[in-house]
Each structure stands twice: as C-alpha cells, then as structure tokens.
Structure 1
Amino acid sequence: MIDSYPQLHAKTLTKVNLKKQSYPVICAELGAKGGNVPCVLFVSGVHGVELIGIQVVIALLESILSRLEWDCQLQQLLTKIKIAFVPIVNPIGLLRSTRCNGHRVDLMRNAPIEAESKVTFLVGGQKLSSHLPWYRGHQGVEQETRALIQYVELLKACSTSLISLDAHSGFGMTDHIWFPFAGSSKPVSSLGQIYYLEQLYQSSYPYHNHYSFSPQSLIYRTHGDIWDYLAANESDKPFLPLTLEMGSWSWVKKNPRQVFNFAGLFNPQKQHRQVRALRKHTVFMQFLLDLAASRELEHMSAEGLKLQNQAAINRWFQR
C-alpha cells in the first residue's frame, strides 16, 4: 500500500448570485500533481434539471474516495493520472430544476461560437426570447460558461492529454457518446484518437457497449456548444471532449406518467431505474481512467493515427 494516498482538493471556479445568495461552481481534483501526466475530467449539471448526470458523476467520485484507503491498484493509478470533477456547472438551474441558469440562458448554447450551417430550429439555440427554451443569451458569455471554459483550458495546458466526459440526459432511446462538432460537419482534430478510443472500448468490453458513438452534428446541430468552442482551439496535445447523452426516452416509455413531470423527461423516476443508471456507466468511466493512464492515445504513431482518422471519416463523414 502507498503510505500516503492521494487526497481530494477542491476549489471554487466562480460564484453566481440569486436573491442575495451566492452559489459556488466547484471543481475537485485527485491524483498526480504537476503537468507531466494525463488528465480525465468529468462534468455534469450544465443543465440543472438533468439530475441523473450529476448523480452519475458524483457516484463515481464517491466510489473513488471510498476505495482510496484500501485499493492499491487505484492508489497506483492515481500516481499516473489526475482526475478532475465539475459536478454542478449550473447551481441555480439545479436549485430551480431548470435547463437554464439564473438568466434563463442555456449554457450549452452560450459559448462564443457560431454554427457553420443551418441549425435545428429552436433546439439549435435561439435569441428570440429568454422565455423560450434553448435561449443563447444577449449579454455575451455567462459566468458559468466562462468558468468551465477557463478551467478546461487550464487542464489542457497543465496535462499531457485531456479526456473529458460531460454527462447529460434527455435525448432518444439510446445512450449516446457525442463529440464535436455540434455546429459543423467538419471532422474534429482528435477524430482519429476518438475513433481508436471507441475501438478499444468495444474490444475490451463487448458486453457493455450500449453506446452509439458519433459527432453530434449527425444527430442535430447547434450554436454555442461549449465543447465545440474548446475543440476549435487546436492543441498539440490530445484533447478528446466526449458527451454522454443518456437516452431518457426509454425511461418515459417504461413509465409514461413521467411525461407529465418536467423532471421526468430527463431523469428516471423509479428507484430501480435510477440505481441501474448509476451503475450502468461505471465501466466506461473507469475505462477512460485506465486508457489515460496507459498513455495509449499519446503514443499513437503518425501512421496509426492516419489510419484511424481515415476509418473514422469513412464511417461518419462519407454520407
């Protein structure tokens, strides 16, 4: 056993105010220090009503913390990587059970980036009214959006590679793993590495692969996607921004009464389905930690990366 196992360090990225009360956006970090290690970031709570995403990320953090005292393999893993968490990006949205923040802005439509082609009507982001959903805002970048962008840029600069997983719910019957771009049909610079990640996951966990991988633009297109903005700033280090979109329509199908409850459109209402969702994604999240620690993505040869990139283009962009 490692004599002194890693400790959790938390800090406040920003504070947002509501009715004279202040609510922090907190990040927590665990693992190796310094800039010579890979990093895996778990994000949730961008939309306050999507409670299940917050619960999935916090469940992983709780599991890691509970194992630290006795799990020698975990202790060893944390000497090789850094793990970061931002479990509640939108605290006021969580408090109010809304998608939007205190200014009625949808943070995932608020980043300073425009789609390169026509977006899905309303869903793709709109500036018509704050009383309609998917409002992009008129006052520039929101405080929460800016805090997350700045933190991710810091992690990119201070790590040899960065994999991020942003947990959401609310679309379709299937669990999706999306990646940039949401506002463009062009391939992201890390496309070959993302494709290789999927291939490794499929071969390593063939009985746990219930995800549909694709660029988000193949499903629907949006303005102002935070991960589009971050991925557009290319880096010489691997950066793989992934979005977990849990298919909440399957919960509604099994329990149609959820349709009359706004939170029920995004979260399982039955306890056994909630528990199932909390354990369903553990394998994939642990896989991301192990993959980062292996540095497999960082050590890809130029020829290997070229082959993976071409395979990805053939799969997702030759349409």
Structure 2
Amino acid sequence: MLRGLRRLHRFEKRILEIAKKNEKLVQIQQYGFSRKTSSGFRFPIYALSIGKPAALKKNPVGIVAGVHGLETIGVRILLDFLYHCVDNPDFFPELHKGKLGLLAMPMVNPGGVALRRRSNPAGVDLMRNSGVEAVRSMPFFGGHRASRHLPYFRGQGLEPESRTLYRFVFESFFHVKNSLIPVVDVHSGFGSVDHVWWPYAGTKDPCRDHRLFEAMGRFFKIQAGHSLLNFGPQSESYTTHGDLWDLFYDHYYKLHEREKSWKSRFLPLTLEVGTWSDLKESPGKIFDRKNIFNPDGERKRETIQRYRKFLRDLFRVALTKERDWQIQ
C-alpha cells in the first residue's frame, strides 16, 4: 500500500499545483470521501473548476478520471491536459476569455489508487455499480454479485465514490440551459486501439442522442484529424451491468422529459485508451495486474500528451448548437 500512497500523494500534489498556477482562474473543492480501507483510512475526492464564474454556470464542459484505481494513465492524461490549459492560454483561449468553463474530478477512486486495485476499498467495481441491469451482459466481466473478492463485483448499492461523482455531475451540468454539454471519462483498457464511446453500455438500443453522437464522431475522425480514434456506442464492443454513465444519462432526460422547450444535451463520453501497443516488446505485461492497463515508461509521456488536442476539440463542441451538426 505504501507505493500506492506515494502515487496518490503525487497526484494530489499535482492537483494543488494546478490550483495554485492561476488562482483567479482555478478553484479547488473537496467533494467527498472514498470508502474506508480495512485499516480505517479514507481519502478525499477533489474537484477543480477552471474558468470564469459565468462560463462555468452557462457553458460548462467536464472531464473525470481514476474511476478504476489501476488505470492511472487516465489520471495522468487528465492532469496533463488541465495543467497545459492553465499554463498555456493560447492553447485553449476559450477558458481564459470566459467562453467555456471546465469542471474536473481527477480521481474518482483515490482509495483504489492507494491500494493499487481496480475496485474501491470495498472491492466494488464502480463502473459496474449503478444498479442498471444490462440486456445480455457479458458473463462475469460484465458485472456480478458473487463476491467482492472477485473483479467486476457490482456491490449492493451506490458506493460513496459513485454518489460523489453523481452529485458532481448533477450539480455541474444537469441544470445548464441551451447548451451542448460534453463530459468525458478517461480510462485505459485492453488492446492497442483507442475508443471514444457514448451510451449505452447496457443495451444495444440506440440512445436518444445517437445521431448527434454519430455526427460528432464523423467530424472528429474525418474533418478534425482524429482518425486513429474509433467512435461508437460502448455496447458495440461489449455490454455491462451497472454503468454509471448509463444511469446519469437516463436520469438527466427523466429530469427534463416534461420540459418541451428544453434545448440542452448532456453528452457523456468515455475515452478508452488502448495501452497494449508495447505488448510485442513486453509480452509478460499481460500477466502484470498492476501495469496491464498502463504504458511502459518509454511510451508514458508520449501517451499522456497525445490527447491534448482531441480533448480541446471535444470541449469546443459546447460552443456549437445541435442544429450546427446537420443531423440526418
């Protein structure tokens, strides 16, 4: 656990560095705590807001990472992006000029980071924890309730980390009017291909904004130059129980279903970073539970910095309106 605590401390130190880099632009808030470890430790969950107050209220975008404690490359990508945005005003001027506001939760599962495990300290996989029942989910991998000592355990109710993330999303985005609201969750996963997924994870039925998501995917892949990213609903790859973004997405539209004039669109996306490009050189990595979802040292910096432009381009979606996408 000591090694994991050191890593957690480095991430928290970086979060504070970002907050101090421009105190007029960046605010830090403690949003909640992790589940306690067996030793009685619990860890704070922080959120950062970057931008002017009016932009954060009227035109926000979001990014989160660290839902799975082993996937620390996602935390690194998020922190690198935030630091680069704050430190280089010309890279993302919309943040500095008050056109957009960026809200971030860098480590949803700090207990998992400290313990160096995928799950939270209670053994619950947070991305199987929402209670949403999938249609023909993958056996075991898609979530189960057999034992918390096995991976992909769903738990019996929303864990503290899941509730904290929901409150963050609800308070930050659910009441924003007349806006497209992209929110990206950064993960790392199997394979060497990067994916950008939209809902649903639990069913192959198209989500309400399927055509808008498809139009965005075509734009990013063909016109914006992000040709190496694969875009589509998560269920095209596999289906799982308990996806948190399925829950949040459905709650958003249930909240506004009687408001006929509601124009905003909540657009959750998952950036799944393929981290197995070095598998030919290091085949033993596939058996390394701690590093299977993270690139090796030589490729780490390149991987971390690779997504800056895509994340910036994605968040600029919030400067458009639904009609701009010529949905067919």
* TM-score bracket for the superposition, by shorter chain length: 0.7 to 0.9
Residue in 2 that maps onto 1:187: 206
Residue in 1 that maps onto 2:19: none
Query: 1:146 Cα deviation (Å)?
Result: 0.8
Give the distance between the partners of 2:141 and 2:70, measured in 1 at CA.
Answer: 16
Residue in 2 that maps onto 1:311: none
Q: Name the CA shift for 1:241/1:5 in 2 (closer, same or farther; >3 Å).
A: same
SS of corresponding position for 2:145 = coil
2:244 is aligned, of 218, 222, 226, to: 226
Query: 1:257 Cα deviation (Å)?
Result: 2.8
2:121 is aligned, of 102, 109, 127, to: 102
Kindly indicate whether the alpha-carbon contact (under 8 Å) linking 1:40 and 1:162 is maintained by their aligned counterparts in 2: yes
2:268 is aligned, of 234, 241, 265, to: 241
SS of corresponding position for 1:144 = helix
Alignment of 1:22-37 (within 5 A): 22-34=42-54, 37=58
Q: Name the CA shift for 1:54/1:204 in 2 (closer, same or farther; >3 Å).
A: same
Kindly indicate whether the alpha-carbon contact (under 8 Å) linking 1:136 and 1:224 is maintained by their aligned counterparts in 2: yes
Residue ranges of structure 2 left out of the alignment (5+ in a row): 1-21, 257-261
Q: Say whether 1:166 aligns with 2:192.
A: no
SS of corresponding position for 2:169 = helix
Q: Name the CA shift for 1:39/1:75 in 2 (closer, same or farther; >3 Å).
A: closer
SS of corresponding position for 1:262 = coil
- Higher mean displacement: 122-131 or 189-198: 189-198
Give the distance between the partners of 1:45 and 1:156, measured in 2 at CA.
Answer: 20
Give the distance between the partners of 2:143 and 2:151, measured in 1 at CA.
Answer: 8
Residue in 1 that maps onto 2:86: 65
Q: Say whether 1:275 aligns with 2:293.
A: no
Residue in 2 that maps onto 1:266: 293
- 1:256-312 per-residue CA deviation (whole Å, 9 max, x = no partner) reads 13224212210012x2311111121111101023232x2x234448xx33x1xxxxx
Residue ranges of structure 1 left out of the alignment (5+ in a row): 308-319
1:205 is aligned, of 212, 224, 227, to: 224
- Higher mean displacement: 59-68 or 152-161: 152-161
SS of corresponding position for 2:221 = helix
Kindly indicate whether the alpha-carbon contact (under 8 Å) linking 2:221 and 2:228 is maintained by their aligned counterparts in 1: no
1:54 is aligned, of 75, 78, 87, to: 75
Q: Name the CA shift for 1:5/1:14 in 2 (closer, same or farther; >3 Å).
A: closer
Alignment of 1:7-22 (within 5 A): 7-16=25-34, 17-18=36-37, 19-22=39-42
Give the distance between the partners of 1:39 and 1:187, measured in 2 at CA.
Answer: 25
What TM-score do the two structures reach when normalised by structure 2? Answer: 0.83
Residue in 2 that maps onto 1:312: none
Query: 1:253 Cα deviation (Å)?
Result: 3.2
Give the distance between the partners of 2:295 and 2:222, measured in 1 at CA.
Answer: 30
2:99 is aligned, of 47, 60, 80, to: 80
Query: 1:251 Cα deviation (Å)?
Result: 3.0
Displaced runs of 4 or more, over 6 A? none
Residue in 2 that maps onto 1:310: none
Kindly indicate whether the alpha-carbon contact (under 8 Å) linking 1:119 and 1:183 is maintained by their aligned counterparts in 2: yes
Query: 1:20 Cα deviation (Å)?
Result: 3.4
What TM-score do the two structures reach when normalised by structure 1? Answer: 0.85
What amino acid is aligned across from residue 119 of structure 1 in structure 2?
S
Residue in 1 that maps onto 2:165: 148
Kindly indicate whether the alpha-carbon contact (under 8 Å) linking 2:174 and 2:266 is maintained by their aligned counterparts in 1: no
Give the distance between the partners of 1:83 and 1:55, measured in 2 at CA.
Answer: 17
SS of corresponding position for 1:224 = coil
Residue in 1 that maps onto 2:310: 284
What's the Cα RMSD here?
2.1
Query: 1:158 Cα deviation (Å)?
Result: 4.0
Q: How many residues align?
A: 293
SS of corresponding position for 2:315 = helix
Give the distance between the partners of 1:57 and 1:23, measured in 2 at CA.
Answer: 19
